[in-house]
Chain A
Amino acid sequence: MRTVAVVGASLAGLSAARSLRKQGFDGRLIVIGDEQHRPYDRPPLSKEFLAGTVREADLALETDGEDLQAEWLLGVRAAGFDPGDHAVRLADGRSVRADGVVIATGATARMLPGGDGLDGVHTLRTLDDARALRADLARGGRLVVIGGGFIGAEVASTAYGLGLDVTVVEAAPTPLAGPLGEVMGGVVSTLHADHGVRLLCGVGVKGLSGSARVDAVLLEDGRSIPADTVVIGVGARPCVEWLEGSGVVLDDGVKCGADGRTSVAGVVAVGDCASWYDPFAGVHRRVEHWTGARERPDAAVAALLSAGAATPAAPRPPYFWSDQYGVRIQFAGHSAGADSVTVEEGLPDERSFLAVYRRSGHPVAVLGMNQPRLFTRWRKQLATATL
């Protein structure tokens, strides 16, 4: 393999480029990114960066002096893929031919219909999004966050810290029920009320009002919530349009095996755009977690360089974290298969506890609030149990 193209220059793409060099690939390495920025870290965008305690320079993922001997094509989008000669077609008309291709094009924030014509309406995915939102939050006033998931909750928490009047609107009866289950989703979302942030659940959003700038969020039950700024945090969809018709099989993202290999030889996919086969659940699923984007490229690159002969190490259970209102939330494992969840240590009311999810008595997931040490031990135990 003489040339490898990594399409996507965020954490998953950078991790893939690093894995390639670490695993001995010494050929031509091309990294293509649609943003102008060098690889940067996204988690602080909803927290420290938005709050102004972390600067742009701190977000850089590359270390000083790091040189992957890569050609960086930044500020240009991948527009198509020809599997015949492994050519990635770029939006500016250029084409990059490679023996191996790593797809790492990520996901893009979902917008509400009619939401993108008004000033003051934001999604949060990129550094540019965060800059724009930070400027609007600096105006103060009333913020309405649509979506009570982790991004929405973190933005609400940060904005509360900046002194804004914050309302969170969540269509489901309980926020975070998807990742955490009903009971623990309810427990974690009580953090909003602790700080006087209004949480409206079980009500959908009908639309936004305003002429040039947004002035209210209109709910399906007829209420209208005044807003100076609105953040839409209703999930993300994989950026895979450029692969349509290319022969790379798509199914809510790029469909991959348990080692990231796609339907096309010499092509692997990693990060938020990739739907890997999950041997634990027996289904394909996209895992939109930082840790997956950091760790999975190792296995995908091994599969790419060995043409699938390498046996990937069993992945650790999915892990993610969130910081809200000064509370550290950590989760590992799979809550979906659980039939019970019990608090093993601490007290939910004190916002410091550890809860274990079990299926037929066996731990399958663990949730910690402000319990990093205990959480680490349980996470380790889960990892060993699934080997």
Chain B
Amino acid sequence: MTAKRTRTLFIASFILPTLILYCIFTLYPILRALYISLFDWSGSSENMDYVGLGNFREMFADPIIYKAIGNDYFLVFWKVIGIMLLATFFAVALTRFKMRGAQFYRVVFFFPNVLSIVVIAVLWRFIYNPSFGLLNGILSFVLQRKVEIPWLGDSDYSIWALLPPAIWAGIGFFMILLIAAIKSIPLPLYESAEIDGATQWKQFVHITLPLIWEQVRVSVVLIVISSLNGSFAIVNVMTEGGPDNSTQVLGYYLYQMGFKQYHMGYASAIGVLILIVSLLTTVILQRLMKREVVEVS
């Protein structure tokens, strides 16, 4: 009896602080946002008009919302492809091959992770600058004529222009994650495969990939979640959702509606939408990537 009580107390002493913090900083804001989403509120006065599901109705009739969701998934899709391909490539290259200066490259590839996303975005703004940017400079040199493409200003290129910095910023972390996974694969597996005459590609497909699948899966989920919630910073610094909403994403649209156009209720409704979209995407992704885990004894 007392032993059981002590145990319960012991467990509670560990769980309670976290639970309290979770309620205050996660649950309460979610509930509050849901509550605000039922009102027409400017965010700067005490007047709140109850509109029920009006904000949600308006949201589903708003073409910019669909554009933003499309852009979010565009970024998610290409970020997953870009980051996973490059991170896996570098991870394999830096572990499975005897490369000189592998340590140095690891640091180089990881470097963008040390920088804040804002710094990266500002840096890339300079690279994209139509008049004196590095990219147009290189193109002008290669093509031997003056190139002045407004990468971030033209709605035809702007969303594509957000991809390189976003991918560049993400590679390092996932590369390190995969390197750790590859290093934990027992070497004899590769040795016997080599004796059997398996090529490097076959070794990668049949040994490396299955054994790091769990990490790949986690990485993809992490990229998806971080992209759905984290495109805000890069959009805010580089394009502010423009030109003409061509780089609008849900996170930035929420900010714009709430803090620039004074529709806090509508912004909260967008917040609820982001929550639902993120949750659904994660659950679907988890199911899609389900696969038997190979246990190495």
Whether A associates with B in a native complex is no
Q: Which residues of B contact A (CB under 8 A)?
A: none
